[in-house]
Every structure is written in structure tokens, then in C-alpha cells.
Chains A and B, each alone.
Chain A
Amino acid sequence: MSNEFIKLFELILSASLINNFVFTRFLGLCIFFGVSKKMETAVGMSITFTAVMMISAAMSWVIFNFIMVPLDITFLKIIVFIGIIAGLVQASDTIMRKITPGLYYKLGIYLALISTNCIILAVPLVNAGEKYSLLESLAFAFGSGIGFALALIIMASIREKLELADVPAPFKGLPMAFIVTGLIALAFTGFSGLITL
């Protein structure tokens, strides 16, 4: 029992810090660079993203293991997973708009962006590939969400500081964002070897 628990904890830690999707696998970069200009949007995106990630991972897991595996149609996983994500995003858009319009105005704008984020598709694909259990899948999704949130928030705070800086012209904007991300990735190498999965 406690062994299980430790494994879940390690999964979360590994997905969020050691194998952070942004810093070690280059995923989610478009959104990462797009919404990390301001802290407020970064926080909004983080919350929405983690929530959608958990739900989509759970749904994908259930459909994959209870429908696709028995029917032997796992080769359709890309289409099915992207369909689940698009449907989920669309549904939560509609539901949020009706039930909590206040929250919708705060977080709804990020919903549309999420479906083009590769991390959200990568997580169910990894879950299916590694044959994770439901709990493990959820832990992995949560860790990945937290990792993305962490990356976004750190980046936003650094970019706010950079706004005052006199960055050389060719490096202004994205190139500099890449350099900063590289430096953060360099710092995060310190976590390597912490957990072997």
C-alpha cells in the first residue's frame, strides 16, 4: 500500500520537476511562450490547464482501456484522444459559460488554446504507451499539469523583469525567451538522477 503511494508520489515529482515537459521534452512550447508574457494570464492558464489535463487523462484512460483495448482498435488512439480533448474543451466551454459566467470570463479564453497544446495530447499517449493504471495516469497528468504551471509562472515572473531590460535587437522577444528557457532547463538539470522511473 505505502509502496503504491510512494510510486504515485514519485510519478508526480518526476513529471513536474525532473522530466518537466517544457524543460526536458520541449513540449507545450507554443502556449508556453504565448501566455507567459504576463503573470495573470500565466496563472489563469495554469489552473485551467491542470484541470482539463486531469479530466481528459481520466476520460482517455477509461475509453482506451474499456473500449479500445477490448475492440482491438488501439491504432485509432490518436484520433480518439484528440477527439476527446476537443470535445471536452468544447463541452467545458459551454458548461462554464452557462453555470459560472464569472469564472468563464476569467479562464474561458484559455480553453480554446488548450486543444492545441501538445502536452495535453502527450499525456494520454504516454499513459497508454506505459500501460499506467488509472491512479498512475491521474498522478502523471497531475504532475505534468503542475510542471507546466510551474514553468509558466517562473517564466512569466522572469519575463516581467526582462521587460525593463535592454535586450539586443535580434534577440528581442522569442529568441530571448528561448535563451531564458534554456537557462532554466540548465538549472533544472540539478534534479536529474533524483528518481529513477
Chain B
Amino acid sequence: MTGKDIIKITLNLVIIYVIGGLILALVYAKASPVIFKNNEKAKQQALKQLMPDADDIKKAGDWAPHEKHAEYFIAKKSDETIGYVVQSFGKGYSSYIDTLIAVDRDFKVQKINILHHGETPGLGDEIEAESFKGQFKDKDLGHLKVMKTETTEYIQAISGATISSRAVTEDAVKNGVDFLIKTVKEGGTGNVTGRHN
């Protein structure tokens, strides 16, 4: 191999890599805003679904359940706060269960949604079922408890998946609500929004 060859080959490589890089950068420039917008849209939709009455749901801050990044939001209807939405994690059977919880102004749970989990198919994945999630309506902090027997006052466990049921109820939801009460009540609503707006 002569020096000339090496230069030729290097040039060849460099040119093709630069062109490839440029093309990719171009595609990236086109795609990344769309990706970003889609993610934002999906997030807004998920929030809206939990708080159908609200006309404005704004991020209020971050927190870190189980050392994971999570956010919380304030839901308003014609400039009046009607509730809060908090993201939280529960340590389940084989995964951390990513949950969104909506509460009203008295910190009673309105609705929850499971965003992501890796629980056992056929057992633990029933936390996604309406029959389980529906139980959370109007529960306050004191009633977020899993019972293995039939109950409407507390949360009834999914048969065969007590660990997953507990993870959602007593870890994710309870901690999320507890966090909201502590931050919003003690920090004061105005304070929290003021800091971030």
C-alpha cells in the first residue's frame, strides 16, 4: 500500500462519513421536533384523561419516588385549582410500576392510570384492568390499603397478585398522595406554582 492509496482511501471514507452524518443530521432536525411534540401531546392527553374537567394542567414541580424522576401537576378550571395530578412509582413484583394519580382539592383520589409496568402477564398485569383501577375513586389517604377479602371501603387485592396490588396502592398511590399533601399543604399552593411559573 502506497502513501497515495492511503490518502485516497481515507478521503473516500471521510467523504462518505461526512455525507452520511449530514443526511442524518438533516433527518434528525426534521424528526426531533415531531418526536418532542408527540411526546408532549401524549403526556397532555394522559393528564387530560385523568382530569377531564380541567382546562389547564400545568407542571408544578419534580420529585423522586424510589430515586426515579417524576413530576406533579396542578389542574385548573377557569383559573381555579380543582385538583392535582402526580406521577409516582411503586415497587412491584418484577418492575417499578409507573403510575399517574389524579386527586381533587381535598386530596381524594379521582382516577389513576398505569403508564408502564413489567408485571407478570395473566396475574399482575390486571392492575391495568378497570375493575382494579376503578376502586380508587374517592379514596383518601387513610383508605389506601389493600385487603385480601371483599371490600369497598379499602382496595381489594387482585387474586394471586397481592404484591402488584400492594405496589400500586400502598406504594405508588399512597406515597404520591402523601407527597402532594405535604408539598401542597405545607408549602402552600401559591408557593409551589409561583416557584415554577
Contact = CB atoms under 8 A, between A and B. Distances in A.
A193 B93 contact: yes
A45 B113 CA distance: 45
A192 B21 CA distance: 42
A76 interface: yes
A75 interface: yes
B95 interface: yes
Contacts of B32: 75
B194 to A, nearest CB: 30
Contact of B96 (A75, A76, A196): A196
Contacts of A75: 24, 28, 32
B94 A196 contact: yes
Interface size range of chain B in the complex: 10 to 19
A196 B24 contact: no
Interface in B67-123: 91-96, 120
Interface in B5-64: 20-21, 24, 28, 32
A43 B1 CA distance: 38
Contacts of B92: 196
A76 B18 CA distance: 12
A193 B91 CA distance: 11
Nearest to A194: B94
A26 to B, nearest CB: 16
Interface string A96-120: 0000000000000000000000000
A193 B28 CA distance: 39
Interface in A156-193: 192-193
B94 to A, nearest CB: 5
Contact of A192 (B24, B94, B96): B94
Given A75-B28, A75-B32, A192 B120 contact: yes
B92 to A, nearest CB: 7
Contacts of B94: 192-193, 196
Contacts of B96: 196-197
Interface in A25-79: 75-76, 79
Interface of B: 20-21, 24, 28, 32, 91-96, 120, 163
11 contacts: A75-B32, A76-B21, A79-B24, A192-B93, A192-B94, A192-B120, A193-B93, A193-B94, A196-B94, A196-B95, A197-B96
Given A196-B93, A196-B96, 19 more contacts: A75-B24, A75-B28, A75-B32, A76-B21, A76-B24, A79-B20, A79-B24, A192-B93, A192-B94, A192-B120, A193-B93, A193-B94, A193-B163, A196-B91, A196-B92, A196-B94, A196-B95, A197-B95, A197-B96
Q: Which 4 A-B pairs have the closest CB atoms?
A: A75-B28, A193-B93, A193-B94, A196-B91
